[in-house]
Amino acid sequence: MAEAENQKQLLRLIQEGRLDLFKEELQRDEEMSKEVRWKHYGKSGDTLLHYAARHGHLDVLTHLVEALEMDIEMFNNDYKRPLHEAASMGHRDCVLYLLDKGARIDCLKKADWTPLMMACTRKNVEVIKDLIEHGANPLLKNKDGWNCFHIASREGDPQIIQYLLTVSPSSWNTESKIKRTPLHTAAMHGCFDVAKALLERCPYEPDSRDKCGVTPFMDAIQNGHIDIAQLLLEKHKEGHTSTIQMLLSLGADLHAKDGKSRSALHMACAGQHAACVWLLLQAGLQDSLDNTGTFAWQLAKKPDVLQLFKGINVST
């Protein structure tokens, strides 16, 4: 019982970064001082190095490596190394220290995630730069077929996307094991600025489909990201009537609106897509005002689009 309490106390001190008290605890128990060098704790199997790296305590990390001579490549039950922990939490000083000490740059945890992939789950471009400048491979894929660019596209930081495209111009050209591209991911998660950057810098094919037949446009509509759907329409110049039919058959929310209260009808009218307008009106989508006080029909310029509203007795 006393031993368990002592271990909890040590972990608490590491998590809180209280190095002086940690040293005092070890000085009082020589046996424990030897044991902590290789000890794994709890269900996760973390070592003290994992705790120090995760919480960003560089002084503690330094002491564990240099004074206690702990191995920086020790891994937990998920095969995470301390570098994974520091990178995933955005602790740049700990990342740089571990790299300076020779940590393996592309070590893999479970599901084949590298420290760079973990770093891309955070919006910290400096840590990502540090890893790449030390030789991290941005083209490696995890077990689902995602590389770091795919992961960054989900998180939605355009600065990171622009950086990755600069240092690894081909990183955009990737698909997951179910054929989903980074553009699918950005559209699904509503990352407008990233989707815009991808469409400006990457030659994605219009209407690229995953294994389920879903396109980025469909992902945007199904998840209510009308602004991204409109962006895709403008870039790829497609009416997407077949996509709309499929979405309606799948029970997609016909009345979804974006942050400016624009509906799919606003988008179709702005793009002058008569066939899309007709489908949406036939499905029962009513015209409504957006946040600027504009009806969808007011965005229509082409006579064939305007005629659709008159033809079904929609007030203009």
Topology of the domain covering 214-316: 1.25.40
The architecture (CATH level 2) of 1-103 comes to Alpha Horseshoe (1.25)
Token reading at 182:
């980074």
The boundaries of every CATH 1.25.40.20 domain in the chain are 1-103, 214-316
Mean pLDDT value of segment 72-94: 98
- Is pLDDT at 1 greater than 50 in this prediction? no
| Percentage of the chain modeled with pLDDT above 90 | 62
What DSSP designation does 287 have? P
Average pLDDT of span 226-252: 71
**Does residue 3 surpass a pLDDT of 80?**
no
Range with the largest mean pLDDT of 5-9, 217-221, 292-296? 292-296
What's phi and psi for 250, nearest 5 deg? -90, 0
For residue 310, the model assigns a pLDDT of: 74
DSSP lists the bridge partners of residue 41 as 46
For the chain, what is the mean pLDDT?
Answer: 90
110 is written with which tokens? 């479970």
- C-alpha to C-alpha distances, 201 to 29, 34, 156, 166, 194, nearest whole angstrom: 60, 55, 16, 10, 11
Nearest to 268 by CA among 310, 223, 311, 217: 217
What is the model's pLDDT at position 316? 40
> What is the spatial distance between Cα 218 and Cα 229, in angstroms, rounded to a whole number?
8
- Chain segment 241-285, per-residue pLDDT in tens: 767 776 677 677 888 888 889 988 898 888 888 778 878 888 888
Percent of the chain scoring above 70 in pLDDT:
93
DSSP class per residue in 31-75: HHHHHTTT--BTTTTB-HHHHHHHHT-HHHHHHHHHTS---TT--
Of 208, 189, 105, 111, the residue nearest 150 (C-alpha): 189
Q: What is the pLDDT of residue 278?
A: 77
DSSP structure class, residue 204: P
For residue 80, name the pLDDT band (cuts at 50, 70, 90). very high
- The H-or-E segment that residue 142 falls in is none
Instruction: Provide the CA 131 distance to its chain's centre, in angstroms.
Output: 18
Note the pLDDT of residue 185.
97
Give the Cα separation of 61 and 45 in Å (integer): 17
User: Residue 48 has which token pair?
Assistant: 């003290």
Rounded mean pLDDT of 182-207?
Answer: 93
With a cut of 60, say whether residue 311 has pLDDT above it: no
For residue 269, give Cα distances in angstroms to 28, 143, 179, 217: 76, 42, 31, 16
Q: Could you give the CA distance from residue 288 to residue 292 in angstroms, rounded to a whole number? A: 11
| Cα 98 from Cα 101, distance rounded (Å) | 5
Mean pLDDT of 118-145: 97
9, two tokens: 């106390």
Q: What are the pLDDT digits (tens) for 7-27? A: 888 999 999 999 999 999 888
